[in-house]
Each structure stands twice: as structure tokens, then as C-alpha cells.
Chains A and B, each alone.
Chain A
Amino acid sequence: MKAIIAATILGVIMMFSSILMKDKKAIITIAALLLAVLLGVNIWDVMATKKGSNFTFLFNNMILISREGLWFNMLMTGCTFLYVLLSGKDIARVGTHTAEYFALIFFILTGVYLLSSYNNLLILFIGIEILSIPQYILAGSDKKNLKSSEAALKYFLMGAFTTGILMMGVTLLYGSTGTFELTRMDFIHQSSVNGMSLAGIIFLIIAFGFKVSAAPMHTWTPDVYDGAPTPFTAFMATIVKSAAFYAFIRLFQNTFGGISNHWTIVLSIITALTLFIGNLTAVFQQSVKRMLAYSSIAQAGFMLFAILSNNAVASQGIIIYAVAYSVATIGMFAVLMKLKDYTYDGFNGLAKKEPVLAFVTTIFLLSLAGIPLTGGFMAKYFVLQAAIMQGQLFWLVIFALLMAAISAYYYFRVIIAMYFKQGNPELHEPLSSGDKFMLALTCVLVVLIGIAPQLFLASI
């Protein structure tokens, strides 16, 4: 709860900082400082709850504070901090309203905290809206670029439509159970498991599927991720998506977990489709940015396993996956922002010109592909282990492994371009030693998640 209040207040401070300061560098510094404060508040929140303690309910059971949720908040704030340190300069380059962009990022974090602690469908709804509306703005922030405006409009229209579907699902669930409160919704009685509540659950699956870009609700993703300014794509594809997933798993594991036989089949078809479409389409992309958009769809397919498997390993898996995927993707996008040309050819010969940049890119890509010793491997290991423990998803696990093999192709294409092809890649500016340090740190984090994933689950 402290974090929710802190994020809002710090967001407002961030917003007003543009009145006092015109210098963009100062604004970036303030944003990083405020994020450090927010991270501190999050750590304080985690410390204040004892390990293995019970849930705390606040505000008429609107909010359920659990240690796991607070831990997730802390990790996501940490990722945001890393993201601002890595690409703060690129955020400032997007447009003139730098302070406002950072303020919106703080408000998105408020949404993230709400989504990790909601116990009421109304809070879920508001949380998802707080998560989405700043994103529409960030997607359209590069006003001189027509593609950015197109992305914002497309995202807004599709998002508004999905909000309607989400609201419809909430209404149907309210109609059949008579409450918005998740801990009071029991599906043990046959009377509340009827067509109405099941239709509501399907509507919620569709709405969440849109937010996490699961096929066939993924159609907005490539255009929006491609059109939006690259720094904001990095944020949308990582922290926001992870938060949506965390909200997804909390609802479906805790509340609808008891009647999983009713929705597992729908979700497993969605998972298979997401893996298939994401991976196969990524193969044919020519632009690395667009490839990363499709890869984020493919990674969402793996994260859906955690929701499908519906057990304790799954909830650990989603946290590890969220962190491993976020850190690697943030790093990958940070590299992409340094380059002028986003196509595969733009990476040709990068290893000769910037060996450090090429090396860290390789580590990030290996992690995304799920090669052992990187975070991506451990993440995939956790979610697939959870799926096997569930018992009935063996066919889907094998399918996922096949798709992971396909994904290696398009990730390795970048590595091949960097190391084995000749070319002269152009950078926006030469790498500073600060950039190098931050990229190396991200790289170390990726490897650390791969070697010692328990560190990132230690406190749950």
C-alpha cells in the first residue's frame, strides 16, 4: 500500500519538475532518483511483512497484500529502474515532454502495484485502465512520426474495445456470484458455476489475452510495438506485459482455479496458437524491432503455461519468467536504440566495430532463446516444469519445445549478422563508458537469473 501511494505522489512530483527545470539531463537524473526512492519504498514494504505471513486486507477487502505480490512489485520496480538507467537518454530524445513521459511511467507503476494486490474486480478494472491509458499516450508521443500516431490510435481503439469486453466479463461474473470480491466468489456451489459465470470467465480470458498479446488477440502487437517510439516499446513489452500476466495468474489461479476443468481447454488452444503464430511469423521479419514484437508474442505463449498449470511452481515460474524476460528484453531494446538501422543488415559486422555491444547482445538473445546458464532457460524450465506437474499438458509442452527450437533461428540470425557478416553498422553516438557499464550490469543480471534463480524467489 505504501508503494501505491508513493508511486502516485512521485509521479506528480515528476510531472511538476518540468516547471522548474528545462534541462533534459536534470529531468532524467530526477527520474532516476525518484525511482530509486520508489524502489526503496518497495523494499521497505517487503521488509515490513514477515516471511510466510498471512494476507492483509485493506479498504473493505478491496486490496489483498501478500508477500509474493510485494516481492513482484519490488522486482518490477527494479526492472523499471534498470530501464530508466539504460534508456533514459533515449526517452528524452523522443519529444519535448520528457518529464511527462517519466510521470506516466510512474503512473503505470501505480497500475502495476494495483494489479499485484487487487481483491476486487473493480480494482482489477481500474488497475488495467491505469496500466493502459498512459501506454496509449506513450505510443503516440513521437508526434512527427506518422507510424507512432497510427500505433497510438490503433492501440487506443483496440484497447477501448477490450475494456468493453473486460467490463462485460466482470458484469457477468457479478451477475452470477453477486459479488465483486474475489475471496467471496466461491465456485464450489453448483449454482454459481453456470453459463453466465463461464461466459464471464471466457470474456476475461479474451480481455487478458489482448493485454498480454496472446493469439488470436495479438493482431495489434506488431504494429503498435513497431510504430511506438523504441524506448516505450521496451517498456510496454516488458514491465507492463509482466504485470498483466501477474494479474491474469492471480485471478485464474486463486479464484477460478477450482473450476479449471471448464477453461483449461480454451486457454490451451490459445497457448498453442500464440506459440505457433508468434514463432512462425517472427521467422519472416526483416526488421529486428518487428521481430522482437513477434518474439514478445511467442514469449507470452510460454508465460501462458504458468496460468494453465495452476499450481505453486507456476506462480514462482511467472515471477522468474517476468524478470528474466524483462531484463533481457530491456537490454535488447537498449542495444537496438543505439543503432540507426533496425533491420538485420544494420547489425552486420557489429562485433568488429563494437565488441562489447555485440557480446552483450549475444547474451540477451541467448537468454531470449532459452539457452542454459542464462535467465531465459531457467524461466522456461520453471513454467514447463509446472505444466508437466499439472499432468495433462504433455502434448503442449512438446509443442512448446519444438517452437522454442524455431525461435532459436531468428534470435541466432542477429548473432550471425553481428559476428560472421561484413558491414559497417552506424550508431547514433559512440558508446559512453556509462552505457557500457549499464549494459554489462544487465548482462550479469541475465546470467545471475540463470545460475541462481532462487535468489529472485528467496523472499516469498
Chain B
Amino acid sequence: MDIQQILFIVLSAIAIGCALGVVFSRNPINSVLFLILTFFAISGHYILLNAQFLAVVNIIVYAGAIMVLFLFVIMLMNLNSDTEPQKNWLVQLAGAISGGILFLVLLSALVSATKTLPVMEQGSNDLGLIKNLGKTLFRDYVLPFEISSVLFLSAMIGAIVIGKKEDKFEDVH
């Protein structure tokens, strides 16, 4: 077992452990903190896969910006562990069964997958640098990149339409 495999196993253990922590912790603040740790572990995986830029972006965007938003919302809503709604056991059982079945399906899918890839990308070191990413983005994936602007534009319109204060109602006739 070489160092990369050890690193991979350690990072995976942290990621899975923290992800479980997100689900099981009673306090929403703890959940969010666990989620941050999960993102850090996943960023570690990206570095192992030689995607340095993705790792940095993951930390800045997810662990930084989005998590701060999460914390803000939780603090504004003033959620406590005792305000958590209690589900009845039937719903919990149904959830556990269907979730378990999904887990089994995904597990069998993973086991039956024929390709096994190395845990670390060897090859060239500059694979995941922003230069290569930009080239791929603007050469091979230029259409999805450009067309997603329509998506963002409609989201912005949505923010204005829903967020703006409605002034006096004028009639069409």
C-alpha cells in the first residue's frame, strides 16, 4: 500500500464520516460545520486526481461562500434542536426502506462497473490547471458554457420579479 492509497482511504473516511455527521447531528450548526469538513475532504480528492483548480474553487465557493450563506440562514431562522419536527415511525421506516433499496442498487452498480481507475492521476502535472480547463471550456464545451447564460438571465429575472415590491396594480382595460 503506497502513500497515495493511504491518503485516499484517509480522505474517504473523513468524507464519509463527516457526511454521516451532517445527517445525524441534532444541531443544525453542527451539521453545517460537518458539511464544511466534507467539502475539504472532497477537495483533497480533487488534488489527488490532479485537479488543483477544481480543489481551490471547491473550497472558495462551497466551503467559503455557500457555507456562510447556510450559517446565516440557520442563525436568522433561529433553529434549535428541539424545534425539529418529529416524524412518525411509519414514515421513518418507509424512508429507511426506500433509501436502503436505493443504496443497494447504487452499490451493485458500483460493484458491476468494469473499469477500475487508479486513485491518483499520474500523467502530466498541469492537467487540472486553469489554462487547460479554460481551453477545454472554450473549445469543446463552448455551447453549454454560453447557453447557460440564458439560464442565469432567467434566474436574475426571477429574483427581480419575485423580490421586487409590487407597486400599484394597474388594470389592462
Contact = CB atoms under 8 A, between A and B. Distances in A.
B147 A96 contact: no
A59 B154 contact: no
A397 B105 CA distance: 31
Nearest to B106: A199
Interface string B131-159: 00000000111111001101101110110
15 contacts: A4-B147, A24-B172, A62-B144, A100-B157, A110-B150, A126-B148, A134-B157, A137-B154, A141-B162, A144-B166, A152-B162, A178-B115, A195-B111, A196-B113, A199-B109
Given A126-B151, A176-B113, A96 B143 contact: no
Contacts of B114: 191, 194
B145 to A, nearest CB: 10
Contacts of B147: 4, 110, 114, 123, 126, 130
Interface string A226-262: 0000000000000000000000000000000000000
B161 interface: yes
Contacts of A144: 166
Interface residues of B, number: 36
Interface residues of A, number: 54
B164 to A, nearest CB: 8
Contacts of A176: 113
A126 B144 CA distance: 7
B158 A96 contact: no
Contacts of B139: 60
B169 interface: yes
Contacts, number: 113
A200 B106 CA distance: 9
Contacts of A136: 158
Contact of B167 (A96, A111, A123, A126): A96
A96 B154 contact: no
Given A63-B143, A137-B157, A195-B108, A143 B166 contact: yes
A126 B110 CA distance: 26
A195 B157 contact: no
A331 interface: no
B133 to A, nearest CB: 15
Interface of B: 105-106, 108-115, 139-144, 147-148, 150-151, 153-155, 157-158, 160-162, 164, 166-167, 169-173
Contacts of B169: 96
B170 A24 contact: yes
Given A129-B151, A130-B154, A137-B154, A100 B108 contact: no
A176 B113 CA distance: 7
Contact of B150 (A8, A97, A100): A8
Contacts of A89: 172
Interface of A: 4, 8, 11-12, 15, 24-25, 58-60, 62-63, 89, 92-93, 95-97, 100-101, 103-104, 107, 110-111, 114, 120, 122-123, 126, 129-130, 133-134, 136-137, 140-141, 143-144, 152, 172, 175-176, 178, 191, 194-196, 198-200, 202, 429
A15 B109 CA distance: 46
A202 to B, nearest CB: 8
A107 B144 contact: no
Which 6 residue pairs of A and B lie closest in terms of their CB atoms, listed nearest first?
A: A195-B112, A137-B158, A195-B109, A199-B109, A59-B143, A196-B109
Contacts of A122: 141, 144
B134 to A, nearest CB: 16
Contact of A137 (B108, B150, B161, B164): B161
B110 to A, nearest CB: 7
A409 to B, nearest CB: 33
A268 B167 CA distance: 50
Given A8-B150, A194-B114, A123 B143 contact: yes
B151 A15 contact: no
B172 A25 contact: yes
A134 B158 contact: yes
A101 B139 CA distance: 34
Given A93-B171, A194-B113, 20 more contacts: A4-B147, A60-B139, A60-B140, A63-B143, A89-B172, A92-B172, A97-B160, A100-B160, A100-B161, A107-B153, A111-B150, A123-B144, A126-B144, A126-B148, A133-B151, A137-B154, A191-B114, A195-B105, A196-B112, A200-B109
B29 to A, nearest CB: 22
Nearest to A156: B158
Contacts of A15: 157
